[in-house]
Amino acid sequence: MKQSKADKIHYLEPELFTASGISSHGFTTRHEGVSRPPYNSLNLGTTTLDAAHNVEGNRHLLANAFGGGPERFVAVTQVHGVDLLVIDTPNPDYLHFQRLTCDGIITNQPEVMIAVSVADCVPLLLLDPEKRVVAALHAGWKGTAGNISAKGVAAMVELFGSDPSRILAAVGPAISPCCYEVDLPVLEAFRSQGGGYERFAEPSGEGKWRLDMSAANVAQLRDAGLGEENIEVAPHCVSCTSELFFSHRRDNGVTGRQMGFIMLK
């Protein structure tokens, strides 16, 4: 992924998606927003103690930078689950979706920007250039254990007739194993789903493991039918890269949120 800029928005741009030419998309960094420390400066998360007008202003900056406009910006209340919101018809009021609780959004509607917010969790974007369908997914450890990546692909197949082999995926910047130590209940959550994701958890001490959530989501996407050549992964650890990204664990919970976003042109 390359670092790009649109108006005041600095972001990582999945080049696989850009080559299709049908969407605006990316993963924001923390730069050039209006929030004050410790949320400086492009904080896009509503679950922080940052002033609400700052977050709203930052979301307006994001929407306007890509021509969608704030009235066609869709985010939801994320709850670390696997439920998905599907928008398949025009809507007179997209803002009301913010009150819905789920962790993924799928749409075939043009000029509607869908987005998920993260500080350590994995943001994922999906794009079917043939059927013109996009998805934004939030995969924390609970969502990853619940197979949200594969569920996003399955919903695109079932509802829009997508062919998994033609779907493109971008796995955005997240916390890496170097900075993400988990305990037995987390590993048991993966085992209970039958996915065998303990292979992505390297022992790091008594009752501790270092979990690679990005690799687990890539494996889900591969198992769902995506080819390796259709998956692009950000190389950054958000905890290690404080100059670019917020990290909930690094900053002891007092931090902002970046977003993964996508909009059909």
What one-character-per-residue DSSP string does 155-215 give? Answer: HHHHHH---GGG-EEEE--B--GGG-EEEHHHHHHHHHTT--GGGGEEEEETTEEEE-HHH
Average confidence (pLDDT) over 204-215? 94
pLDDT above 80 for 196: no
How many whole angstroms separate alpha carbon 265 and alpha carbon 262? 10
Q: What pLDDT sits at residue 217?
A: 96
pLDDT above 70 for 191: yes
Residue whose token pair is 């202003």: 57
- Computed over every residue of the chain, the mean pLDDT equals 95
Average confidence (pLDDT) over 2-23? 97
Average confidence (pLDDT) over 248-253? 97
pLDDT above 90 for 65: yes
> Please, what are the domains in the chain?
2-176+212-264 (3.60.140.10)
Q: What pLDDT sits at residue 121?
A: 98
Average confidence (pLDDT) over 25-50? 97
pTM over 0.85: yes
pLDDT above 70 for 54: yes
| pLDDT confidence band for 195 (50 / 70 / 90) | low
Lowest mean pLDDT among 50-59, 136-145, 163-172, 201-210: 201-210
- Of the chain, the percentage scoring pLDDT greater than 90 comes to 90
CA 82, 110, 169, 73 torsion-angle sign: negative
Q: What pLDDT sits at residue 198?
A: 74
How many whole angstroms separate alpha carbon 144 and alpha carbon 165? 21
How many whole angstroms separate alpha carbon 26 and alpha carbon 51? 25
Task: Tell me which residue of 218, 228, 170, 174 sits closest to 14, measured CA to CA.
Answer: 170
Are 50 and 44 contacting, i.e. CB atoms less than 8 angstroms apart? no
Task: Tell me which residue of 57, 61, 60 sits closest to 6, measured CA to CA.
Answer: 61
pLDDT above 80 for 115: yes
Could you give the angle at the alpha carbon of 113 between the alpha carbons of 96 and 91, nearest 5°?
45
Alpha carbon 254 to its chain's center: 20
